[in-house]
Structure 1
Amino acid sequence: MSQPIRIGIAGLGTVGAGTVKLLREHAELLALRCGRPLQVVAASARDRKKDRGVDLAGIRLESDPLALATAPDIDVVVEVIGGSDGVARQVIETAIAGGKHVVTANKALLALHGSTIAAQAEAKGVILGFEAAVAGGIPIIKALREGLVGNRVKRLYGILNGTCNYILTTMRESGRDFADVLADAQKLGYAEADPSFDVDGIDAAHKLALLTAVAYGRPVDFAGVYVEGIRKVGALDIRFAEELDCRIKLLGLARETEHGIEQRVHPCLVPKTAPIASVDGVFNAVAVEGDFVGQTMFEGRGAGAGPTASAVVADLVAVARGHGLPAFVVPAARLASSPGSPIERHRGAYYLRLMVLDRPGVIADVTAALRDEQVSLESMLQHGRARGPDDTVPVVLTTHVTEEAAMRRALQRIAGLAMLREKPILIRIEDL
C-alpha cells in the first residue's frame, strides 16, 4: 500500500472532531477504498484540554492553525475554523502557497473569495475541495462536477438552510407564528442566538453562489445573489398557501436567462406536488435540471458533525486518489464572464397578501394599480367579513406571470393606499 496521506485539521469544533471520528472509525475501509491510509497528523484548537468526545491520541495539537499550513509533515489541510476572512483565509492561502492540498467547509469564505483561491490552487497544482461547504452530507458538488458534467444546466434550485426549513415546517404543522417558532428552534439548538445569518437568507446565498459557479463555470458572484429571508412570512401566509395547494419554502434558485445568470434566495410558494415541497424539518435538498438528464434531486441532512464530516472525507479520498479537477470545473482563466441578471428582470407569478379595511371599493383600488402596470390577476381569496374593533380583513391575490419590475411598481402604489393596515406581503410563486 502507498504512503499515507498526512492530514492537518484546522479547527476541532463539531465538524473537525466529527472528521477525526470518521477517519478513525473507518480507517481500514478508507485505506482500502482510496489505496492509501488517511492519517491525521496534527490539529489546531484554542482549548487543547477540552473533551471533544473523540480519541486524539497520536495527534499533535497546535494552538496556532497557521502552523498546520507550514508544517512539512502535512500533505493536506482541512480548514473548518469558519469565517469569511481572518485566520481561516490565511490558513488556506498559506497552505496552497506551500503546495498543500486544501479541503474546507467554509462557504462564507469561498462565496467571497472563492474565485481567487481557486486560481491560486490551480497555479500551484493542488486540489481545493469544498464538498462540505454546500448542503452538508449531500454530494451535490461532486454531482455537478462529475456525474452531471455532460449536461448544460438549465436550472438548479434547493432548500439550502435547515434552520429556515425547520422553522417553516413547524409553522405549518403547529399554526404558530415565526417569532414563536424561532424561539423554540433556538432552545433546541437548531438556530443560533443571533439567527440573522440563517433566517435572513445569507447562509443560503453563500451556498447558492458556489453552486452557480460550479454549474455554469463562472466566477463566484455572491454580490449578484438577490436575497430575502423568512422573517416576513406569517402563519396566515402558511395557511393561505395550503389553501392554494402550495407550501412555502426558502429556496435558492439559479438559471440562465436571456439577460444573464439569475441567482435568487427568497421564500417561494411551491406546488404540493413538487418533490421539494415534501422536504421538511432540518433536511436540505437540491434539484438540478440538465438538458440531457432531465431533473435530478438530492436530499439529505445539510448540517451536523456526521453529514459534514462525510463530505470532508469524500474530498480527502479524492486528494488521496489524485483526482484533481478545477474547483469550478472550468480552468480559472476560462471561467465565463457572463453577466448576472438583476431581480427586476425576473419573470414569474406572485402571491400578494394585504391587510385592509373592510370597505367598499378596496379591491377596485388594488386591481387598478395592478391593471395600470399590466399585471394580470389569476385568483383572489377573502373569507367572510371583518370582525373586531380594527375592522381589518386579509385579502390574498395571485397573479399570472409578469415582470418583477412591473410588480414592484404596482406594489409601491398599493402600499400607499389609505385602506392598508399593514405592509403588503409579496412572495414569489415557482413552477417546479
Structure 2
Amino acid sequence: MKESSRPIGVAVLGMGNVGTEVVRILTEKAADLQARIGAPLELRGVAVRDLSKERKGVDRALLTDDPMALVQRDDVDLVVELLGGIKPARKLILAALEGGKSVVTANKALMAEHSGELSKAAEDHRVDLYFEAAVAGAIPVIRPLTQSLAGDSVNRVAGIVNGTTNFILSEMAESGAGYGKVLAEAGRLGYAEADPTADVEGYDAASKAAILASIAFHSRVTASEVHREGITGISAKDFDAAKKFDCTIKLLAICERIDVDGEQKISARVYPALVPLDHPLATVNGAFNAVAVEAENAGRLMFYGQGAGGAPTASAVLGDLVMAARNRVFHGRGPLESTYAGLPVASIDEVPTRYYVSMKVADVAGVLHQVSGEFAKRGISIAAVRQEGAGDDARLIVVTHRASDRAQSDTVAALEKMDSVLKVSSVLRLEGTND
C-alpha cells in the first residue's frame, strides 16, 4: 500500500464512555491505524459539553464546547458523532456532510428517523456515512448486510439487540425474581440507566430494528413504523409457565418479508416473546446481543457478542473510521443507501404469529370448552393447553398455532369479556418455531 504523507484530520463529537475509548484508541494505536489506512489520523479536536470536567489522557487544547465550529474547520476531514439523540446531532452531521466531510456515527435514534435525509446528503456531496456502531455495539451486522450479502436476498433478521433488557430477562429466568427487583439490580450494576424507559419499553430496540429492516430489505423503514412492546409486564409466573413449555422469554427485534394477500411487505416488530430452549437465541444471556440473518442462498448466519459498552462500541466506530479514512486516501466510496425495493411496512394485525395466553378463570365445568370456542370462531388452532391450580387460583394457559395477529388479539379481547375468564393475566407471542 502506497502511503500518503497528508494526514487525515478527525473531529470527535462527544466524550462519554464511547468517545473516551475512541480517543484512547486513536492515540494509543496511531501507528497501527496509519499502516492500515495508508495515512496518519490526526485528532483535531473533541467537542464536549463541560470544559471544566477532567478528561484524563486528553490534551486540553483539543477540547471545545463549540461542536459546529469544530465540524466546519478546514483541517477536519472526518467527523465522529457520539453525542446521541436527534438534536444537535442531525444539524452537525448535515453540516459535516454538506462540507464534504465523511461521518461515522453510533446514533441509532438519528439513523432510524433521518437515514434518508443523511444518506442523500452523503451521496450528493460524494462522502461516506458509516453507522455500524448504531446497532449491536461491537457485533458486525451492518457491513455484512450491505456488503457480504449484497448479492443475496435476505428474508429475515431477528435477534436480541438490547443488552439491558436481555440482562433483566436473563436474571429473572435464572433467579425467579420479579421484574422490579431485577431492574433495581441492573441499575446498581450499571446495566440500566437512571431512566430505563428507552430500553425497557423497547424504544432502543425499535430504532435498531428500523435500521436493520431498511438495509436488509432495500426499503426505508423508520422507528415509528416498528411495532413496539416492552418488558415491564413480564412476571416471574410467565417464566414459570415458559419453562413448562420448554421455553424462555426474550425481547426480540424481528424484521422479515411477509406475504399479505399476494403483496410482499416488511414486518418490523419488537416485543417480548417465548423462545424454545433449543433455539440459538435462547442461550444468549446477560448483556450480550445476538442477531440471526436468514438469506436465500447463505442460509442462517449468527452474529453474537458484546452489544454495548465503551470499548466494544468504540471497536465498531474505529472500524468505520478506518474504512472512511481509506476511502479518503484512495478516492473510494462506501456503499450508498439502497431503497430500490420500496416495500411497504405491514401493520402488526397482518403478521402471522403464535400466541401464549395465560388466564385466571372460574373453577367451573365447561371453561375450557368456552375458551377454545373463542379461538375456533376466528380460525385459530390450539397447539397446547395447560390447566393449573384450583378454586380462586385456577389458571388456564393456551398456546396457539400460527394465525394473523388481528385474529389473535381479537380473540384475547373476547376472552376478557367472558364471565368465566376472571383476568387475562399475560399475553405473549411465541417465536422460533415453524408451527
Query: Shared fold (TM-score greater than 0.5)?
Result: yes
After the TM superposition, which residues 70-89 of structure 1 pair with which residues of structure 2 at under 5 Å, given as runs?
70-84=72-86, 86-89=87-90
After the TM superposition, which residues 5-404 of structure 1 pair with which residues of structure 2 at under 5 Å, given as runs?
5-53=8-56, 55-57=57-59, 60-84=62-86, 86-259=87-260, 260-322=265-327, 323-328=332-337, 330=338, 335-386=340-391, 391-404=392-405
Residues 46-67 of structure 1: per-residue CA shift (max 9 Å, x gap) = 12232344x1127521111111
Amino acid at match of 1:197: A
Deviation of residue 119 (structure 1)? 0.7
Aligned CA-pair RMSD? 1.5
Amino acid at match of 2:77: D
Query: Any conservation in 2 of the 1:68–1:77 contact (CA below 8 Å)?
Result: no
Deviation of residue 363 (structure 1)? 2.0
Whole-Å separation in 2 of the counterparts to 1:341 and 1:46? 41
Deviation of residue 430 (structure 1)? 1.2
Query: Any conservation in 1 of the 2:227–2:269 contact (CA below 8 Å)?
Result: yes
Structure 1 stretches lacking a partner, 5+ long: none
Whole-Å separation in 1 of the counterparts to 2:91 and 2:24? 26
Amino acid at match of 1:216: F
Amino acid at match of 2:278: T
3-state SS of 2:388 partner: coil
Deviation of residue 21 (structure 1)? 1.0
3-state SS of 1:422 partner: strand
TM-score scaled to structure 1, two decimals? 0.94
Deviation of residue 281 (structure 1)? 0.4
List 4+ stretches of structure 1 deviating above 6 A. none
Amino acid at match of 1:42: G
Query: Any conservation in 1 of the 2:146–2:335 contact (CA below 8 Å)?
Result: no
Residues 240-270 of structure 1: per-residue CA shift (max 9 Å, x gap) = 1111111111110111112301111111111
TM-score scaled to structure 2, two decimals? 0.94
Whole-Å separation in 1 of the counterparts to 2:306 and 2:63? 30
Whole-Å separation in 1 of the counterparts to 2:336 and 2:170? 34
Stretch deviating more after TM superposition (237-246 or 202-211)? 237-246
Whole-Å separation in 2 of the counterparts to 1:420 and 1:196? 32
Structure 2 stretches lacking a partner, 5+ long: none
Query: Any conservation in 1 of the 2:145–2:216 contact (CA below 8 Å)?
Result: yes
Stretch deviating more after TM superposition (237-246 or 281-290)? 237-246
Deviation of residue 359 (structure 1)? 2.7
3-state SS of 2:394 partner: strand
Whole-Å separation in 1 of the counterparts to 2:375 and 2:205? 31
Deviation of residue 324 (structure 1)? 2.3
Residues 103 and 371 of structure 1, relative CA distance in 2, 3 Å threshold:
same
Whole-Å separation in 2 of the counterparts to 1:95 and 1:421? 59
Whole-Å separation in 2 of the counterparts to 1:92 and 1:37? 23
Query: Any conservation in 1 of the 2:221–2:345 contact (CA below 8 Å)?
Result: no
Match of 2:427 in 1: 426
Whole-Å separation in 2 of the counterparts to 1:130 and 1:284? 17
Amino acid at match of 2:45: A
Query: Any conservation in 2 of the 1:44–1:65 contact (CA below 8 Å)?
Result: yes
Amino acid at match of 1:325: G
Query: Any conservation in 1 of the 2:357–2:424 contact (CA below 8 Å)?
Result: no
Whole-Å separation in 2 of the counterparts to 1:42 and 1:431? 47
Residues 172 and 119 of structure 1, relative CA distance in 2, 3 Å threshold:
same
Amino acid at match of 1:356: V
> % of aligned pairs identical?
41
Amino acid at match of 1:343: I
3-state SS of 1:382 partner: strand
Whole-Å separation in 2 of the counterparts to 1:357 and 1:191? 39
Whole-Å separation in 1 of the counterparts to 2:28 and 2:357? 52
Amino acid at match of 2:136: A
Whole-Å separation in 2 of the counterparts to 1:58 and 1:127? 29
Whole-Å separation in 2 of the counterparts to 1:58 and 1:6? 17
Query: Any conservation in 1 of the 2:207–2:222 contact (CA below 8 Å)?
Result: no
